[in-house]
Structure 1
Amino acid sequence: MSYQFLRVELFSRKGKSGRGTSFLFDEVERRPSASLHVPEPGEPVVVYGMDVPALRALHDTRADAARATTKAGKTRAVRSDQNTVAGVVLSYPTSMTEYRESADVRRDFERWEVRSVAWLREQYGDRLACVVRHEDESYPHLHAYVLPDVADAEMRASVLHPGFRAKSAVKDAGTQPGEDEKALNKRADAAYKAAMRSWLDDYHVKVSQPCGLTRLGPGKRRLTRAEWQAEKSQARALRTALDRASVVKSKVESFVQARRDETKSLVGTAETTAAALKAEADAAKADAARRLAEAAKATETAKAHADAAVREQRKARSMMSLVREETAKVRAASARLQRLPTMLRTMIDGFRVSKVAARVRAAVADEMERLREQALSAERRADAAYKQASAAEAARQKADDKVRTFDAALTETQAQRDAARREVQRLRPPEPTPAVSLGPGFGLRPTPGRR
């Protein structure tokens, strides 16, 4: 592996030395008149966006419609020497022979190509119109073409060049106090170099470094061969480390996601179980309340029957008191019959007493039997009501036990959920430290092959 190669250039319709936009599109399309530097021109491969004929048609249509406003306020067509398109060349430092013969090299190239296109999209957004790959020169490389914003009526491509954009910003701001035109130009050139250096550094951090490429070659820094080989080995080791870190990060994220899904499943199961237990407890409470209401009602009914039986018993006792009083009156009347012989008096008294007693017993026998039946019935209903009340109390106690069991299960489930969340937090990997550029400075090496 070697160092990165990245270049940006602006083109106008008129061009310089015959290299205008028409020649640019002919060359990338591999038309014979513009491909004399390629021994065997091959078909370009479109990697992103539209193909070259569509790019040519879009550019020419927009350039013909572009208009500029003069200082006098008049509108005119833009000059033919105004830059209207930006071209970016990105080269991969491996020979086409290695590219064709080694599957590992092609895999590394495809990884570099995907990262390069993503970086171009990040830099230019929707202004990136086309990216094609050439495989017919010494090195595989990409050509990217960027058109100005559609909202720019003058179609100025200078804003697409990071160096020219920074230099124009300094020039437009004008001289500072105590600064002449020469010093202004020097400061503008410094801004140009700083912007280009930052542009190349950003590409190195986001594309070249993860792909094992160095920022600069050995020539500009006058490195020995041993130093250059050591730097390339370091770049390869860095790429390997980044690859391993990416694999580890992916595995950690997969593990954390699996634990997160497992925790969610456990929490969902616990919540479902808790809901079922709560529903069962609610049903048990409702059943216990219903049974308690029925027992209370039965108790009230039994109490009413018992009160009625007590009232009947009191009535019977009152009637017996009347019988005893009548018997006492008869005996008193018999004692006054002293004039009759003793035997006759005794017989008459005995007959009368027996007759009265039989009459009283006949009068109260049915009523006493009915009272005894009512008392027995009231006693049986009271026993049944007591049994129902005992069953309702047992059901209420069982419902309370279920509620206490549910509360304990819910507390344990919440503790398990909190423990799972703490475990996920502990296993979450730290954020990766941003990579640092391996080499400062700015430099462009000559094209490893004519582009």
Structure 2
Amino acid sequence: MAFQFARVELYSRKGKEGRGTGFIFDEVSRVPSASMHVKAPGAPMVVAGLDPDALRALHDDRAVAARQEVKGGKLRAVRQDQNTLAAIVLSHPATMDEYRSRPEVAADVRAWEQRSVAWLRDQYGDQLVSVLRHEDESHPHLHAYILPDDPGMKAGPLHPGFRAKAAVTAAGPRPGEDEKAHSKRANRAYQEAMRGWLDDYHAKVGQPSGLLRLGPRKRHLTRAAWHEEKRQAVALKEALAKAETLKAKGAAFVDRTKEEAAKLRADAARRADAAKAAIVAAQAAERRAKEREETARRATAQAERATRAARRLTGLGGALRGLWDGLRRSKLAARIREELRPTVERWQQAEAAAAARAAAESDRRARAERRASILSASAAELGAQRDELRRRLDRYEPAPEVAPVPVRPHP
């Protein structure tokens, strides 16, 4: 397997030597005037994010709306020669013939592509707006486009080398350092930053894909050493693949274990809930049983009281009193009592009237008896006086025969 290839460039709308953002968008879209280097141009395929037309529109709209603060706090539109776009090219060393004819190579390229997109997202986050793939050149390769998200739309900080060099330049010379030494130090910062950027890409994408960090010419390797290094790269790739497989299996085992543990916990929770529900139901049943027992006890006591009261009630009067007292013990009895009240009152009034009449008749009889007694005494006295007169008359003269005069009793 050959070495990795990764390059980052910055572009402005004006561009240099005619290679501005417009040309870059034309090239990736395979506009004929910008694709003279391609024998048979083919349409790009979207791997992530926007298609070429949407990418162009988004960049141009942001560039027009971008504003740069100048002296006095005023804002002005950004210059046409300010870099507003970062473009990255990542190429796989497999040839297109190998890619099309060998499934294992195509699988390697797809895995490299996924790792590359993940690395780009880790590097640039939401500023990564589009990743496109070309298959119309000698090797399968990706074009990634990053748009700055600051108001001034400055793309410089998106380039690791430019960012490091700008930081050294802005800090100024160290004590005793002249301008030339300061410039050399800024250039070294640029180189170190780019080296670190490529090392990070190699560690996260190149090595897992079986790619070497550098080619043989830069390190002056012999052909045998170069092939040995490639063999080692393939072995490292296989080892990393096995490690990834083991990692995946381990993760799957952990996931299964977690899933089984979750099921056990859920089952235990369900059983605990069922036990709690059973306890609550038992407690409720116990309460209902106690309530029924209390109700039965009260009913028994009430029945006993009613039995004792029934035994005390004898005769019609007792029955009426018992009925009346019983009716007083419920709301229904109250309504019945209200309905019977007029009748009862009439009975009571009739009884009182009868008692009054009986008393008056008894008094009248007593008075009549006293009057009769007086009249009888008066009649007896008159009879005695008559007899006395007759005796006196008989002494002086014989009494003529006179019919007796009947005496009527005085009324």
Structure 2 unaligned runs (5+)? 303-411
SS in 1 for 2:42: coil
Query: Larger relative CO (CA 8 A, sep 6+): 1 or 2?
Result: 1
Judge conservation of contact 2:67–2:151 (CA < 8 Å) in 1. no
CA distance in 2, matches of 1:72, 1:297: 97
Q: 2:212 aligns with which of 211, 214, 217?
A: 214
Judge conservation of contact 2:207–2:233 (CA < 8 Å) in 1. no
Judge conservation of contact 2:208–2:237 (CA < 8 Å) in 1. no
Judge conservation of contact 1:212–1:238 (CA < 8 Å) in 2. no
Judge conservation of contact 1:128–1:147 (CA < 8 Å) in 2. yes
Q: Structure 1 length as normaliser, TM-score?
A: 0.59
State the partner residue of 2:17: 17
Judge conservation of contact 1:30–1:43 (CA < 8 Å) in 2. yes
State the partner residue of 1:358: none
State the partner residue of 1:101: 101
CA distance in 2, matches of 1:10, 1:159: 10
CA distance in 2, matches of 1:40, 1:294: 99
Worse overlay, 135-144 or 92-101:
92-101
State the partner residue of 1:152: 151
SS in 1 for 2:190: helix
CA distance in 1, matches of 2:27, 2:273: 68
Shift of 1:66: 4.0
Check if 1:53 corresponds to 2:53: yes
SS in 1 for 2:136: coil
Tell me: CA distance 1:264–1:144, structure 2 relative to 1, closer, same or farther (3 Å). same
State the partner residue of 2:249: 248
Give the AA of the match of 2:270.
T
Superimposed CA distance per residue, residues 42-78 of structure 1 (whole angstroms, 9 cap, x where no aligned partner): 1111222222223223333433444444457665544
CA distance in 2, matches of 1:68, 1:288: 84
Judge conservation of contact 1:14–1:20 (CA < 8 Å) in 2. yes
CA distance in 2, matches of 1:104, 1:90: 20
State the partner residue of 2:84: 84
Show the 5 A alignment for 1:17-416: 17-71=17-71, 76-149=76-149, 151-153=150-152, 155-223=153-221, 224-279=225-280, 281-283=282-284, 285-286=286-287
CA distance in 1, matches of 2:159, 2:94: 27
SS in 2 for 1:249: helix
Tell me: CA distance 1:225–1:75, structure 2 relative to 1, closer, same or farther (3 Å). closer
Judge conservation of contact 1:209–1:238 (CA < 8 Å) in 2. no
Tell me: CA distance 1:297–1:256, structure 2 relative to 1, closer, same or farther (3 Å). same
CA distance in 2, matches of 1:269, 1:259: 15
Judge conservation of contact 1:93–1:139 (CA < 8 Å) in 2. yes
SS in 2 for 1:211: coil
CA distance in 2, matches of 1:13, 1:293: 94
Superimposed CA distance per residue, residues 84-104 of structure 1 (whole angstroms, 9 cap, x where no aligned partner): 211100111211011111222
Shift of 1:297: 8.9
Tell me: CA distance 1:298–1:21, structure 2 relative to 1, closer, same or farther (3 Å). closer
CA distance in 2, matches of 1:258, 1:75: 57
CA distance in 1, matches of 2:23, 2:52: 12
Shift of 1:220: 2.8
Tell me: CA distance 1:222–1:263, structure 2 relative to 1, closer, same or farther (3 Å). farther
CA distance in 1, matches of 2:282, 2:66: 79
Tell me: CA distance 1:34–1:299, structure 2 relative to 1, closer, same or farther (3 Å). closer
SS in 2 for 1:228: helix
Tell me: CA distance 1:15–1:297, structure 2 relative to 1, closer, same or farther (3 Å). closer
Worse overlay, 122-131 or 163-172:
122-131
Tell me: CA distance 1:18–1:300, structure 2 relative to 1, closer, same or farther (3 Å). closer
Shift of 1:165: 0.7
Show the 5 A alignment for 1:413-432: none
Shift of 1:10: 0.8
Judge conservation of contact 1:213–1:235 (CA < 8 Å) in 2. no
Shift of 1:169: 1.0
Give the AA of the match of 1:137.
E
CA distance in 1, matches of 2:271, 2:299: 41
Q: Structure 2 length as normaliser, TM-score?
A: 0.65
CA distance in 2, matches of 1:193, 1:248: 40
Give the AA of the match of 1:43.
A
Q: Which has the larger radius of gyration?
A: 2
Tell me: CA distance 1:101–1:278, structure 2 relative to 1, closer, same or farther (3 Å). same
Structure 1 unaligned runs (5+)? 302-451
Judge conservation of contact 2:42–2:134 (CA < 8 Å) in 1. yes
Worse overlay, 191-200 or 37-46:
191-200
CA distance in 2, matches of 1:58, 1:285: 74
Superimposed CA distance per residue, residues 210-250 of structure 1 (whole angstroms, 9 cap, x where no aligned partner): 33333333433344134313322332223322331232133
Give the AA of the match of 2:170.
D
SS in 1 for 2:207: helix
Shift of 1:163: 0.9
Tell me: CA distance 1:46–1:229, structure 2 relative to 1, closer, same or farther (3 Å). closer
Q: Sequence identity of aligned pairs in percent? A: 53
Tell me: CA distance 1:38–1:265, structure 2 relative to 1, closer, same or farther (3 Å). same
State the partner residue of 1:5: 5
CA distance in 2, matches of 1:72, 1:287: 86
Judge conservation of contact 1:210–1:242 (CA < 8 Å) in 2. no
Between the two proteins, the alignment pairs up a number of residues equal to 302
Superimposed CA distance per residue, residues 240-261 of structure 1 (whole angstroms, 9 cap, x where no aligned partner): 2233123213321332123222
Tell me: CA distance 1:101–1:172, structure 2 relative to 1, closer, same or farther (3 Å). same
CA distance in 2, matches of 1:237, 1:136: 29
Shift of 1:263: 1.4
Judge conservation of contact 1:42–1:134 (CA < 8 Å) in 2. yes
CA distance in 1, matches of 2:293, 2:173: 97
Judge conservation of contact 2:68–2:151 (CA < 8 Å) in 1. no
CA RMSD of aligned residues (A): 3.1
Worse overlay, 23-32 or 231-240:
231-240
